[in-house]
Structure 1
Amino acid sequence: MLGRLIRHFIRLPLQLLRQTLKQVTFSKPPVLSNSLPVAGLDESHAHTVLSALRQAARSPEEVELSDLWLATLQLAQIASDRLLRDLKSVDRTLSFWRTRQKQGQHLAFMLLGQGPISFVKDVGRLVSRQHSQRKLTASDKIERRVIVLRSLRSTLTEALAAVHTEAGTLYLRGTRQRRGATNATAGTSNLEPRLFVQAKRAIMLTNACIAETFDGLAAKVVEVIGASETARIQAADALVRDAAVLHALGPTASRRMFTVDSEQHLVEAGAAASSSSQPRAPTEEDIPVGSISGSIGRAAAALGIELPEGKGLSANTALSQAASISARQRRLVRLPHWVRMPSRYQQYWVRYSVATAVALWTSLFLYKHSRLAGSRDLEVWTRNAVDVVIASYQEHVIKPLATLRDELFKTFRERRSIVSSDEFEADKASLQRMLADFEADYLKAHKGHQPQIGAPPAEPAAGDAGQQVAALPGMEFMMQCYEDELKKPIRNLVNGQLARSLLIQVQKLKVDTESAMLEMDQILKANELSIALVAAVPAFLVAGATLVLVWRWLTPSPPNRSWEALPCRMAMVELERAILALLEDGSAENQGMLVYRLALVYEEAYSLFRRFDTSSGPSEWPNLRQDLIELASPLHKQKLRTSKRMMRVYTIFKF
């Protein structure tokens, strides 16, 4: 911990200087929101639709209608962001309790894993025997939490699916035909009236869906977590069984609100309707702009926000405002304390309590033996510990290194040998002279008669001192004579050369011994160096570990991008499972889960590329973002094929 603080203090001035230089020399690009665009309507798509509406506008009401379309997109984006934020919290809590349900040891966790306050309350219930009124085991309590959280997640996913489904009508498909028309005059004359009719319908349906969804969501949440414990479980079970309630409620209420607004417009325009001989049914073209503004107000009131007034805003500015507004809003679903996931302190409060008790006992012990309490024990213990460390350091680090240095630079050169090379060469030369004199005297005494000599020995290897001594000139002749003399040892001991040959062999034995001593001396020198190296191994380990720690402390290793991308890959796997579930059952809950899983992939990928993709070269993020946005669009039908292509093409989803 102390080393980490020191490292941060050392790096802080360098980081500040680098950030200052970066701000001065480079222009910071605008940061986009990391939330998934509602129904795939990102800045590019919104700008296309908004430009088509403003270019086709021919009256102030039509210009105002384009601003109302942008305000509706803001409301849909805010609603999607808030639902996704609450859904992430609920799903995270649900995953925690499901994991605890699979791990077992429910009683120990429910008693000791929810904080000291919960522990005191549970112990109080056990002492007062209040648990006899409700015979609920720890497994039942965890299962109850799972049921309630599943109900909340089902409610939120259905609401999210309703918002994204109705927000998909904001695409205004006529804008694509308008962009692709070859004749601008002919294209606008036929498409402009229909374009504004689609805009009115999309605005009314989207706002009505937002208002109805959030009003119904509040009631559902109260029904699940606000009732008594028995009613809470019954409501949770009912919500799990009836997963399509909110999906059926949303479109029906939206169309009913659309009909009411149309009839209200007919009452206000009664004079024009009474003058007609055949009264016509209310159509979408008859809806006034004021009624559309009222629907936006109702949707904003259901969200509990107030949109800033602004005309002529760009799509980027409007979506940035929506992101900032949704970030400031409180959560829609406030989980009760008995459902919430316990914090890390609550889960491990026993460990932290024991660690705190040990720390307090250690502090009191140190205080009693310190100079503050009039004791010198700490100084004595510290001095003894320092002496032991210094002695151990000197014995196992400094001394082996010094010995190794001496072996390399001093002992290897200055150490005296048992037998010197000069003595060996002198004795060897003396042996050679003895052999030469013996051969000459023997030939003179026997008048040139030579003893029979066997096959010549093999040539000795180069550098072998013992073999060189055995192969001296005259040595073989002397040994043959020695063999002949041994046939009559008593006579030859007096009259022959037997005694002389024995003395020559003694000289040869001396030379051989000196040769072996020289070789042994070389082996001892090599062994002494090896022993010194082995003794210095602890010193090398300590020095190497110190260097590695210092190097890592000064130059931290770069992050492992494969490990950092693991949450994104797992989120992509969950997205593919959600797509398969939607293909099997197209319920509102599965639609909402698909949007939620897609939002998780978008958030993880955005975070990764923002941290690691800082180069100015080509990047995968633009194409990956476009594919994720297309998956969020309700107009995109080949979602499974697109997801498989993404897993196959992008490196972020590979190991």
Structure 2
Amino acid sequence: SLMHVADRINELCEEISEQVLSSLHDVQKSLRFWQSRAEGTDAQKLHFMVFERGPLAFMEGTAQVVRGFIIEGSPVKHLALAAASQLSERVTELTTLQYYLATFLAQMHKQVYMFGEHVAKESDREVVTSLLVAIHSCMIGLEQTYDLPLSNCAVAYDGTRIPPIVFQFEALPEELQGKSEWADAEIQHVLALIASNLRRLNQCSSIVVSKNRRPRRATRLWLRYAGVAVGLAACSGWLLRHSKLMGSTDLDRWIKEGKRSTIAFWKDHVELPLLSIRDDLFETFRRRHKGVMELEEVQLTANSLNRMLLAFTEQTTGKKLPEGVSEQEMMEIMMARYEKELMHPLQNLVGGDLARALLIQVQKLKLDVETAMLELNQILRANEINFAILAALPAFFITIILAALLRIWLVKDKGAEGKGRTARLQRRLLVVEAEKKIMQCQVLMDEGKEKNALWSFGMILYTLDRLYKVTERHAKESGEWQ
């Protein structure tokens, strides 16, 4: 029935859209990589072509440089031009493929929008036929010859070229091209033909992308990995020389010393500081009571000194002092009397007030010492936790560094699909990119550039699809999307 055919067309359109969007994503990833390399300086281009394409490219690139120095004297400019040409070739191929895929995606969505509602509502056989013809015509428009890149082994061109790949699709049977309405069997045949062409499109685009794919991370960093491997080999040889296998006990001795040092470090910088912090926190209220008692003892000494000064001053002056007299005034009277008593020390020591004045000064000294000790004790108590934290800082920093390294090792960079500030920033950039594409499409439509506007519309669909996919999981986890 036509309703069944409409459902099948809907499924086919969704499949086409998903595959084209997936191919566009693969193209975009490699295209951004090659564009970043092509925009670099000549030195950066040479560095990439020689050092970031594997050992074989490194050896042949080095040979090219040496041969150029011998023959030309300064081959850098020639090699930089060759590198720029290879990079430009890849950018051109991927840009062309991106253009045709995005245009095809936009045309298909446009045709589905034009005929889809009629197919769903009216189930008109003529509308179904027109829609299938339009989709097939859009796919035929992708027919193109793509020159694959030159041999990837040398820095400069070596003349060898991989045969080009041709995007060529199966045409509609001649007996169907003139009909305005197709029978059910003919519609099923065209659906199978479009599905076959879709597989051909996916296969051909995969070949073009794979030949222009960015090098793997292991290939780009092979020199660094090789250095690490050489270092590990040298370290293994050194360990072997100091092991029991070679009759040496150095390794066992170092292991024991390292174990003792680790245990000592753990106790001094982890266990004891943490225990000290715990004790300080739990003993705060107990020590507070003790601190109050010490403050009361100092206050008792101060009260005793005040009474001694008051009695001495009243006896010396022969009159009662007014209330509120300061301790400083009484000390001045006492010191004046003390200086007078010192004129006849022996006589006044026995029969005068010299001994009493000396005892008052001793009491004053005791009060000053107790006050200073109380302040010092308060300062030390306030900083006990700080001292314990300072002792634990080395272990804390080591833990943070190890945790960061472990996180880098375990958590792979997922780009905009990941978590964190960088992923959120990339998602915002996708929104900005979508807005720019929409404005660009509108400008192209206003200028009458229909083909470029279709390409821009296709890139809008791709950008929105990427934005939806990178946002979907986070939106569902947060409950924003049901």
Q: TM-score, normalised to structure 2's length?
A: 0.70
Match of 2:91 in 1: 146
Is this contact kept in 2: 1:94–1:149, CA < 8 A? yes
Equivalent residue letter for 1:139: A
Q: TM-score, normalised to structure 1's length?
A: 0.54
Match of 2:428 in 1: 569
Q: Are residue 343 (structure 1) and residue 216 (structure 2) matched?
A: yes
Q: Are residue 82 (structure 1) and residue 23 (structure 2) matched?
A: no
Structure with bigger gyration radius: 1
Report 1:264-343 matches (<5 A): 284=180, 287-304=182-199, 330=203, 332-335=205-208, 339-343=212-216
Match of 1:272 in 2: none
Is this contact kept in 2: 1:397–1:536, CA < 8 A? no
Q: Once the 2 structures are TM-superposed, how far is the Cα of residue 377 of structure 1 from its aligned partner?
A: 0.6
Match of 2:443 in 1: 584
Is this contact kept in 2: 1:82–1:331, CA < 8 A? no
**Partner Cα separation in structure 2 for residue 81 and residue 131 of structure 1:** 53
Q: Once the 2 structures are TM-superposed, how far is the Cα of residue 573 of structure 1 from its aligned partner?
A: 2.2
**Partner Cα separation in structure 1 for residue 358 and residue 5 of structure 2:** 122
**Partner Cα separation in structure 1 for residue 13 and residue 352 of structure 2:** 122
Q: Once the 2 structures are TM-superposed, how far is the Cα of residue 511 of structure 1 from its aligned partner?
A: 2.3
**Partner Cα separation in structure 2 for residue 335 and residue 428 of structure 1:** 100
Match of 1:372 in 2: 245
Match of 1:597 in 2: 460
Task: Please state whether the residue corresponding to 2:207 is helix, strand or coil.
Answer: coil
Task: Please state whether the residue corresponding to 2:213 is helix, strand or coil.
Answer: coil
> Which residue, out of 27, 45, 60, partners 1:106?
45
Give a deviation string over 1:20-77, Cα, whole Å, max 9, x none: xxxxxxxxxxxxxxxxxxxxxxxxxxxxxxxxxxxxxxxxxxx2x4444444444443
Match of 2:31 in 1: 94
Equivalent residue letter for 1:348: L
Match of 2:259 in 1: 386
Is this contact kept in 2: 1:400–1:536, CA < 8 A? yes
Report 1:104-253 matches (<5 A): 104=41, 105-126=44-65, 136-173=81-118, 195-210=124-139, 212-213=140-141, 216-217=142-143, 220-222=144-146, 224-225=147-148
Equivalent residue letter for 2:52: G
Equivalent residue letter for 1:107: L
Q: Structure 1 pair 396/413, CA: closer, same or farther in 2 (3 Å)?
A: farther
Equivalent residue letter for 1:370: S
Is this contact kept in 2: 1:170–1:203, CA < 8 A? no
The worse-fitting range, judged by mean Cα deviation, of 395-404 and 347-356 is: 395-404
Q: Structure 1 pair 231/500, CA: closer, same or farther in 2 (3 Å)?
A: same
**Partner Cα separation in structure 2 for residue 399 and residue 227 of structure 1:** 66
Match of 1:356 in 2: 229
**Partner Cα separation in structure 1 for residue 274 and residue 93 of structure 2:** 69
The worse-fitting range, judged by mean Cα deviation, of 588-597 and 103-112 is: 588-597
Q: Once the 2 structures are TM-superposed, how far is the Cα of residue 111 of structure 1 from its aligned partner?
A: 0.9
**Partner Cα separation in structure 2 for residue 566 and residue 119 of structure 1:** 36
**Partner Cα separation in structure 1 for residue 475 and residue 102 of structure 2:** 32
Give a deviation string over 1:66-108, Cα, whole Å, max 9, x none: 4444444444433333332222222221111111223431111
Is this contact kept in 1: 2:338–2:357, CA < 8 A? no
Q: Structure 1 pair 346/378, CA: closer, same or farther in 2 (3 Å)?
A: same
> Which residue, out of 478, 489, 512, partners 2:364?
512
Q: Structure 1 pair 525/591, CA: closer, same or farther in 2 (3 Å)?
A: same
Equivalent residue letter for 1:121: E
Q: Structure 1 pair 430/155, CA: closer, same or farther in 2 (3 Å)?
A: closer
**Partner Cα separation in structure 2 for residue 524 and residue 510 of structure 1:** 21
**Partner Cα separation in structure 1 for residue 469 and residue 299 of structure 2:** 82
Q: Structure 1 pair 601/517, CA: closer, same or farther in 2 (3 Å)?
A: same
Equivalent residue letter for 1:95: R
Equivalent residue letter for 1:296: L
Give a deviation string over 1:558-590, Cα, whole Å, max 9, x none: x85775444443223222222222222243344
**Partner Cα separation in structure 1 for residue 203 and residue 119 of structure 2:** 37
Equivalent residue letter for 1:120: M
Is this contact kept in 2: 1:368–1:375, CA < 8 A? yes
Equivalent residue letter for 2:198: L
Give a deviation string over 1:216-252, Cα, whole Å, max 9, x none: 53xx143x338998999xx9xxxxxxxxxx9xxx9xx
Equivalent residue letter for 1:365: W
Report 1:473-492 matches (<5 A): none
Is this contact kept in 1: 2:309–2:360, CA < 8 A? no
Is this contact kept in 2: 1:207–1:296, CA < 8 A? no
Is this contact kept in 2: 1:579–1:594, CA < 8 A? yes
Q: Once the 2 structures are TM-superposed, how far is the Cα of residue 368 of structure 1 from its aligned partner?
A: 1.7
Task: Please state whether the residue corresponding to 1:173 is helix, strand or coil.
Answer: helix
Is this contact kept in 2: 1:157–1:588, CA < 8 A? no
Q: Structure 1 pair 162/533, CA: closer, same or farther in 2 (3 Å)?
A: closer
Q: Once the 2 structures are TM-superposed, how far is the Cα of residue 352 of structure 1 from its aligned partner?
A: 0.9
Is this contact kept in 2: 1:398–1:539, CA < 8 A? no
Q: Structure 1 pair 174/338, CA: closer, same or farther in 2 (3 Å)?
A: closer
Q: Once the 2 structures are TM-superposed, how far is the Cα of residue 355 of structure 1 from its aligned partner?
A: 1.0
Select the structure with the greater relative contact order (CA < 8 A; seq sep ≥ 6).
1
Q: Kindly, what percent of the aligned residue pairs are identical?
A: 18
Equivalent residue letter for 2:434: L
**Partner Cα separation in structure 2 for residue 169 and residue 399 of structure 1:** 76
Q: Structure 1 pair 106/382, CA: closer, same or farther in 2 (3 Å)?
A: same
Equivalent residue letter for 1:514: K
Is this contact kept in 2: 1:575–1:597, CA < 8 A? yes
Is this contact kept in 1: 2:112–2:131, CA < 8 A? yes
**Partner Cα separation in structure 1 for residue 425 and residue 311 of structure 2:** 87
